[in-house]
Structure 1
């Protein structure tokens, strides 16, 4: 028993570490890219990813790669929903006035990247006599209509909260906690906006009666998780049914996790020491950080390129996503922060100036998890989807490197000021 507690304690410690869990997920992402393109492993990896697993007597018949995206990733979205509920109830988003600037910055940080993506890909398009534009993909030399290419506008809108906080943990040890709190608030609102984007733009709605089923599941969950003794077996069944209803309704099923997470109480009940949303998120964190996200990253980046060459870096899609995330994110955040404080007269957190946020704003260019998901939803063309996911990986690494250097320099300057 002691050994079991020790192992579980170690697992929880690793999952709670932004640094370690981020490195694990990054390792799995690189493994997916390598395994899918090494001649010795490519066929086996593709066979595993495309092997279908069906649930008898239902329409659920998906390849393993899709189960990782639509099924396992629901655990991550459930923890996001629980965290959001806690933040909205008692956390950084409970006081809209105090959270106004980072909330607005999240909006600005989601508006600028799509604009840059559309502009950059337009610059690479070639217009013929008929006025129809094409974008050439370097991996195959095929021409893709510009209108199809810009369907990926939403890919660079998301910030990966786990990776951005991992960069802060690695390089910003000497900085005040208010910077981390600002980034946490911004990234949390960013998650909420990304969820809305997925629901609105990447869902194909089916028969209306499935939505009645979703509403019923939501109500039953709401009641069950407020009981003094929660019947966990029934709760699990209701959660799975909510996922199935979302799938059948044509809404991306991972949003079932967000829905039930937001319906979980975030204040203490029946004399409990801590809110249920906080406790449940803590218990799910190891499964999300060390199981769901790494396996999702493995299959999300495990895309086969006919020729994985340096020319891929010069793909219009890769360049568009890289510019959008690396330049667009900090540009949107910093511009919004300046306007909201100098024109709107809102206040930054105590002790912070707008320019202090630039290194952390660069960390927001780390897209990763949700950007990978949107890339797989935005493009039906396999080539575009593959290059888009490669672009997300490239942009995230560049943004992490730039923010790491800037945060390290800022941290040293801050320590020198406080020491003198």
Structure 2
């Protein structure tokens, strides 16, 4: 092990200062690093792309998986074997020549494996469910330094816990996951002036009640800064937009979104038929590293009054810039998977996401604002979403909010069995992995 400059993270709010950095090229290198750390009594943290970095890393051993970015697609079985450091962009590019697509999220720069361990809520989620439900097998190094091939047959308990339980049970070096036969889709976004927000939000909530499962959508609201690099129609404006991904015919997609287009003057309209390789343009997530605080609230439902109050709290009069996104869930997300997993809150109707840039922003004030929002949505609250909690706080508290009592108890038993010395992060709930 050697001390080196830590890899750059997409999330820049937290410092990476390990005592030792290891950059293995394969599973055996990860195994050796875990064994060495255990022999020295050092804690282990894992880093892929750093999108979901949960907090600072100080001391111990940091395993960077960025060199383990292999992707192998088997078109006959419609599966992909994905290395721990591979991004969704790489998987999409590898699957597309075969007419296949993975169940990726909105950003192509996110680490595919870590995203999936947290459940994996993708842009086609209502049609195909969570990415974790499509996992066939995982290769993982547990805290005892053993490299295990985990399947429903060979390691049923680990197979259950790794899918939806995060990074706490071992260092996943690769996984095999099913792909779907999607080559193109109808998608994009409709942007409206923020003055239309209450009317549009009410119409959007009504609209979601009528959608087929082949349509996955979200609505987002943000007060844009006056930065010159932004398109002129967005600079300094409060904008509310609807994002759509629909795998049916484009003409039917046009018919589906017609009620939304009538909700008010449209600032921009990028809805079109596109190859799946362009699906990242639907959300156009920022590609540059930055510091942020975020929360994901899984809601049973949401009414227009509560949704409007959320926008009032987080809109132009809020003390800091906050991106609000409401993801429509249901459909295949609510269905029982072929193999049970630790993915929680399958009965949720919506995911409410809050994200605030931290440059010059008081984190305490951000948390206070989020607490106000949580008070508004409390009647519908089911718990938190693991992949969208970027608070840098107590991870045990985060896991407490993510999983219900039975799941927490079962995961705690697995942690006690596979990591009794807390090599991978301490007491149950403390996760130090980062996508």
Structure with more of its chain in helix, by fraction: 1
Of structures 1 and 2, the larger Rg is shown by: 1
Q: TM-score, normalised by structure 2?
A: 0.26
Q: TM-score, normalised by structure 1?
A: 0.27
Structure with more of its chain in strand, by fraction: 2
Q: Which has the higher contact order (CA 8 A, sep 6+)?
A: 1
